Amino acid sequence: MHIEQTIKPFEIHIEILDHWQKRPHQHNFFELVYIDKGTGHQCINQMQFPYAQGNIFLLPPLDCHSFKIEERTTFYFIRFTDLYFTKEAMHGHYKEWFQKLSYVLSNYNKVAGDIIQTRTSLERELLVHLIKQIHQEYLTKDDYSEPIIESLLMSTLNILARNIEKRYVDEGHNKDYKFGEIIRYIQHHLYDKQKLSLEAIASEFNIAPTYFSEYFKKHSEYSFQEYIIKSKLKLAESYIKHSQYSIKEIAYMLGFTDSSHLSKSFKKNYSVTIQDFKKGKTQACAPQGQALLNRVTP
């Protein structure tokens, strides 16, 4: 399998194609794909999904993908490597940026196709505007372009994160409105151990602490603590695969007692050690990689 490389931390370009002449490939960069015109199918990890004008896809590194074009298609490709999120490149905002990116990656079901579910969404229009503005600034390349692109890309990540969060919250609202808001609260505070305590959340939503665990279990297939652990492990998976953070640093950021606690929790939930998981990340085209992700989806 060919692995497509990019040596630039960030690039965006437009391609107008009648036929996809490249082989199915893996790549070493994050890729946001916007379909400006055309129809066809996107092939991701040996599965196919139709695409049409206005669709927006997100592809993490080492996903295996290609396109089958039915009608001439105009693609916008935004590509950025992990180098784009280093402290030097992002002027000290590395942690904030990668937290946002890891949230998007860990919660986005990569085989679901379009990242925005509603075809008429105003947010889709805003995303399209941001993508085209990023392209314009990339072509401009003056002294102001780099910070403008950074700001536009952060806005893009925030919109993607909000849409992904909405899927969780809407599912919770379908069961009980308050439960949906609890899920939103948890997802917003996964990095804050104190605000994730049972007592803190019970107080936030005016539920008796003695009843909260029963209430949560009633509306979820997991206990409260299981849900917290599985949500954090989804973030940990993204950090392990896509960042240069050490296991110790990841454990600290996500509120695990230490690296041993994170490693044991990971092994218990994924049935594989972190070390073996890292070694196997080059097998992202295999169904096993997706199965591991789905297994811990809250």
pLDDT in tens, 165-175: 777 677 767 77
167 close to 297: Cβ distance less than 8 angstroms: no
Q: Residue 282: pLDDT above 60?
A: no
Q: What's the rounded Cα separation, in Å, for the pair 266 and 237?
A: 9
Please name the amino acid found at residue 16.
I
pLDDT in tens, 238-248: 888 777 788 99
Chain mean pLDDT for the chain: 79
In angstroms, the Cα distances linking 264 to 182, 233, 260 are: 27, 11, 6
In angstroms, the Cα distances linking 172 to 107, 176, 198, 206, 240 are: 15, 6, 18, 18, 28
Which of 96-105, 127-136, 188-197 is predicted least confidently? Answer: 96-105
Query: Which has more confidence, 190 or 1?
Result: 190
Q: What confidence score (pLDDT) does residue 134 get?
A: 92
Residues 6+ apart with CB under 8 A from 55: 34, 35, 113, 114
Q: What confidence score (pLDDT) does residue 5 get?
A: 52
In angstroms, the Cα distances linking 271 to 52, 144, 261, 294 are: 38, 48, 15, 13
Secondary structure E strands in 28-176: 30-44, 47-51, 56-59, 65-80
- Residue 84: band (very low, low, confident or very high) from pLDDT cuts 50, 70, 90: low
**What angle do the packed helices 145-175 and 122-140 form, to 10 degrees?**
160
State in Å, rounded, how far the first CA of the chain is from the last one: 32
Q: What's the rounded Cα separation, in Å, for the pair 127 and 159?
A: 8
Rounded to 10 degrees, the C-alpha dihedral 98/103/109/112 comes to -80
Q: What's the rounded Cα separation, in Å, for the pair 249 and 61?
A: 21
User: What is the set of domains in the chain, with CATH numbers?
Assistant: 2-168 (2.60.120.280), 221-295 (1.10.10.60)
Residues β-bridged to residue 75: 15, 35
DSSP for residue 85: G
Q: What's the rounded Cα separation, in Å, for the pair 196 and 159?
A: 24
Whether the pTM exceeds 0.85: the reply is no
Give the mean pLDDT of 212-241: 90
Q: What confidence score (pLDDT) does residue 287 get?
A: 35
Please name the amino acid found at residue 225.
Q
Q: Which of 122, 208, 112, 201 is nearest to 162 (CA)?
A: 122
